[in-house]
Amino acid sequence: MSDRRDFMGMALGGFAGLGALGALYAAKRTWDPLPSVKAGGFTTLDLSNVPENTLVVEKWRGKPVLIIKVPKNAKPNSAPNGHNENAYDDKRLVTVGGHKYMIVIGLCTHLGCIPDYFPEKNKFICPCHGGQFNAAGEVLKAPPPSPLVIPPFKITGTKVVLGEEGPEYKKLLAAGVVS
Ligand code: FES
């Protein structure tokens, strides 16, 4: 009888172990980076065909990255407080192949929702709690506590390599635009 109990105990223990392994495997699969990211963690984007003032959504390390090519006639931000709704804040823009771009991680800095872009208003509105950002990613309306985050990048011609800290990104770091 005790042999049978021992066998049942071992069998149950084995099933529990398999279950735990399965759960671990599922968790690992969920948290694994995408295959394209595994090759060094960099994503290279060619911006040469990006249309003006149109939201382009890419993916980098499992996060959405939002890109907007600033229209040529757009006025830089001239508001004294630096938070003008319909203007672009030059210091947060990235120049690639002679054009200016906003490149940010598309997660609201309040609780991480993905904000929607309204090109006719040049601003983002977060669907979760109504936070707003201008087209340079600066906060226009709370609750987001800080601007949309600029990911590390390196510029090579008309291409941007996300995940690498090039000289342009280091300048933003030195200027305190990113941290
Ligand atoms: S998550 Fe965007 S305003 Fe709350």
Whole-number average pLDDT of the chain: 77
Verify whether ligand 1 is closer than 6 Å to residue 142 (CB atom): no
Read off the tokens for 21: 């392994």
Residue 28, classed as helix, strand or coil, is helix
Grade residue 35 by pLDDT with cuts at 50, 70 and 90. very low
Q: Which atom of ligand 1 is nearest to the CA of 127?
A: 2
Cα maximum dimension of the chain: 87
Query: Ligand 1 centre and the CA of 110: distance in Å?
Result: 5
Q: Which atom of ligand 1 is nearest to the CA of 111?
A: 1
Q: What is the pTM of this model?
A: 0.74
Say how far residue 23 (Cα) sits from the centre of its chain.
Answer: 28
| Spatial CA neighbour of 97 closest among 155, 56, 165 | 155
Whether residue 18 has pLDDT greater than 60: no
| Spatial CA neighbour of 102 closest among 43, 157, 166, 147 | 147
